């Protein structure tokens, strides 16, 4: 930063450039927030400098994710990428499309560019390890440090001479150096959800005509979702009272808050709370809904399909990228719920697993982005929930989706209905000869009268 100050001290820039060293990255980016409050007037762009000299590299080198979803302007990110590529001789790329989709479906940011972009200021993080924290013992590389420093200086010069990037963050998808707007993704996902929605409406109408009990099974979904939602709220309560330590929004980078005895105690407390809610709260809610002791029937399948489609459509309105994760389940679980397609139990379980595969993929992808294992991922997720990461509406829809998944598993495990007993068809024998009156003895026609 001192070298940048010497190079920029000549007064040849068009704009005022502020160099600030901040702290408090593990405490909700308190230093960055204070810098933003102290600067008067509009801010054109912010470059956050991360690891510029380590030997370990974890692309992408330019990160623009906002704490409340989306990324900073594509022009800002490409300008910084081009400057780094020019000085380092490396091809600086964005994240692949699947990783972008996962980040848009579950928005978060652990770098200090996150709160800046959430405040409406275009921001980008420049780091050799992305948003991950570099190892404490990672040796420094002088050549790489010089090349990255020149790239940052070139990026500052280019941004100073260019018009200000658009404020705020966009939710567009970058595919093959092209930007796919969010409205196009919304139209695609809406078209994929149209067929299951029509099937759900038809199933509800048929269940009403046949007087199938659907309401108790909708209560079953609500009771199961309530257990998940109350568990999430319990984790948030632990953060509010300070029992988990520095639980802030945005969450601290992985590894910034060590998983010690307090962390293990917090994870155990959340698991114990979930078990107690399953054993105590859920049976009470099932009795209130009239679903206690019921055997899954056609009404359960209709409730599962209707509930899942409702959750998917609500998620489509809020976040189309997250709604796409429910599209496979909305199509495949129709066969699990349909009584006209009596599949064997292994096939139904395979369809349920295929419907849950996108959720598993999302967890694995985000764990790879954070660079954590199962224990570290669970601890970071608990800190994020305790700090209030994510909207309450997202927690509610996720809980209801979990309730629909639970009912799908119950339907997949049920026994196939026994086939109806075969009826023996007796042949009808015709008389050997005509036993009625002869034609000439028949009643005289009255047509001539």
Q: What is the DSSP letter of 280?
A: I
Residue given tokens 């049976």 in the structure block: 283
* Final residue of a structural domain among 175, 207, 239: 175
- Report which of 70, 71, 51 is spatially closest to residue 132, judged by C-alpha positions: 51
Q: Is pLDDT above 60 for 392?
A: yes
User: Is 440 a domain residue?
Assistant: no
Q: Are residues 276 and 319 in the same domain?
A: yes
* CATH number of the structural domain spanning residue 95: 3.40.630.10
Determine, yes or no, domain membership for 418: no
In total, how many domains does the chain have? 2
Q: Which residues span the domain enclosing 43?
A: 2-175
pLDDT of residue 422 exceeding 80: no
**224 and 297 housed in the same domain:** yes
- The mean pLDDT value for 318-345 works out to 90
The per-residue pLDDT for 420 is 52
Confidence of residue 419 (pLDDT cuts 50, 70, 90): low
Q: Tell me: do 227 and 167 sit in the same domain.
A: no
Could you tell me the CA-to-CA distances from 430 to 423, 438, 442 in Å, in that order? Answer: 22, 18, 21
- Which whole-number Å values give the CA distances from 69 to 7, 74, 118, 154, 430, in the listed order? 35, 14, 8, 28, 79
Same domain assignment for residues 161 and 215: no
**376 in a domain, yes or no?**
yes
Residue 419: name the closest of 339, 328, 313 by CA.
339
pLDDT band at residue 404 using 50, 70 and 90 as cut-offs: very high
For range 369-390, the mean pLDDT: 87
Regarding whether 213 and 131 lie in a shared domain, the answer is: no
DSSP per position, 121-157? --EEEE-TTTTSPPPTTPPB-HHHHHHHHHHHHHHHH
Q: pTM of the prediction?
A: 0.85
Assess if residue 128 is contained within a domain.
Answer: yes
Query: What average pLDDT is seen over the chain?
Result: 86
> In the chain, what are the helix, strand and coil shares in percent, each to the nearest 5?
55, 5, 40
Which of 35-39, 121-125, 362-366, 378-382 shows the lowest per-residue confidence on average (mean pLDDT)? 35-39
User: Tokens 């790239």 — which residue?
Assistant: 151
Band (pLDDT 50/70/90 cuts) for residue 5 is confident
Residue 269 has pLDDT above 60, yes or no: yes
Q: Are residues 201 and 170 in the same domain?
A: no
Q: Is residue 278 part of a domain?
A: yes
Query: Is 19 within 8 Å of 10 (Cβ atoms)?
Result: no
**Which of 119, 112, 108, 114 is closest to 37 using CA atoms?**
119
121-145 pLDDT, tens digit per residue, is 899 999 888 887 777 777 888 888 8
Q: Which of 175, 190, 218 is the last residue of a domain?
A: 175
Residue labelled with tokens 């994760």 = 325
Both 99 and 239 in one domain: the answer is no
User: Which whole-number Å values give the CA distances from 292 to 219, 298, 364, 404, in the listed order?
Assistant: 10, 16, 35, 17
| pLDDT reported for residue 199 | 94
Question: Whole-angstrom Cα distance, residue 448 to residue 50?
Answer: 109
Q: Which of 147, 175, 203 is the last residue of a domain?
A: 175
In this predicted model, which residue has the larger pLDDT, 442 or 161?
161
State pLDDT tens for residues 55-108: 888 888 899 998 888 898 888 999 999 999 999 888 888 888 999 999 999 988
Task: Decide if 151 is inside a domain.
Answer: yes
169 and 188 belong to one structural domain = no
Identify the band that residue 283 occupies on the pLDDT scale cut at 50, 70 and 90. Answer: very high
Same domain, 12 and 136: yes
Between 251 and 153, where is the model more confident? 153
> Are residues 125 and 99 part of one domain?
yes
159 shares a domain with 191: no
Query: Does any domain span residue 439?
Result: no
Q: What is the mean pLDDT of residues 132-161?
A: 85
Residue 242 CA to its chain's centroid (Å): 27
Q: How many CA atoms lie within 13 A of 123 on its CB side?
A: 24
If you write DSSP's letter for every residue of 343-358 in order, what string do you get? --HHHHHHHHHHHHHH
Asked if residue 131 and residue 202 are part of one domain, the reply reads no
């Amino acid at each position: 930063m001192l070298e940048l100050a010497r190079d920029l001290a000549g007064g040849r820039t068009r704009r005022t450039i502020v160099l600030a060293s901040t702290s408090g990255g593990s405490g909700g980016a308190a230093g960055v927030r204070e810098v933003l409050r102290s600067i008067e007037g509009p801010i054109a762009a912010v470059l956050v400098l991360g690891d510029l000299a380590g030997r370990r590299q974890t692309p992408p080198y330019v990160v623009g994710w906002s704490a409340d979803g989306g990324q900073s302007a594509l022009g800002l990110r490409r300008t910084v990428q081009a400057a780094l590529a020019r000085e380092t001789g490396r091809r600086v790329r964005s994240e692949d499309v699947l990783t972008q989709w996962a980040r848009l479906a579950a928005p978060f940011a652990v770098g200090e560019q996150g709160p800046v972009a959430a405040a409406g200021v275009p921001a980008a993080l420049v780091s050799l390890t992305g948003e991950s924290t570099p190892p404490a013992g990672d040796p420094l590389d002088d050549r790489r440090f010089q090349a990255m420093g020149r790239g940052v200086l070139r990026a500052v010069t280019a941004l100073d001479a260019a018009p200000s990037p658009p404020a705020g963050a966009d939710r567009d998808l970058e595919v093959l150096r092209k930007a796919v707007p969010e409205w196009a993704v919304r139209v695609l996902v809406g078209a994929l959800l149209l067929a299951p929605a029509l099937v759900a409406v038809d199933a509800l109408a048929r269940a009403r005509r046949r007087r199938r009990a659907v309401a108790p099974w909708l209560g079953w979904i609500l009771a199961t979702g309530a257990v998940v939602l109350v568990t999430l709220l319990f984790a948030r309560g632990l953060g509010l009272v300070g029992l988990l330590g520095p639980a802030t929004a945005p969450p601290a980078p992985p590894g910034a808050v060590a998983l010690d005895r307090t962390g293990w105690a917090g994870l155990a407390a959340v698991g114990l709370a979930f078990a107690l809610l399953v054993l105590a709260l859920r049976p009470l809610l099932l009795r209130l809904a009239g679903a206690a002791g019921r055997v899954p029937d056609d009404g359960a399948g209709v409730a599962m399909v209707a509930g899942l489609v409702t959750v998917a459509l609500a998620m489509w309105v809020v976040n189309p990228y997250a709604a796409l994760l429910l599209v496979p389940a909305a199509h495949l679980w129709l066969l699990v719920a349909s009584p006209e397609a009596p599949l064997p139990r292994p096939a139904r379980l395979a369809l349920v697993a295929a419907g849950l595969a996108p959720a598993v993929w999302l967890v694995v992808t985000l764990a790879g982005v954070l660079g954590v294992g199962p224990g570290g991922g669970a601890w970071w997720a608990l800190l994020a929930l305790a700090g209030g990461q994510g909207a309450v509406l997202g927690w509610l829809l996720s809980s209801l989706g979990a309730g629909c998944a639970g009912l799908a598993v119950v339907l997949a495990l049920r026994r196939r209905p026994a086939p109806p007993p075969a009826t023996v068809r007796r042949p009808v024998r015709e008389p050997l000869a005509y036993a009625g009156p002869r034609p000439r003895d028949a009643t005289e026609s009255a047509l001539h009268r």
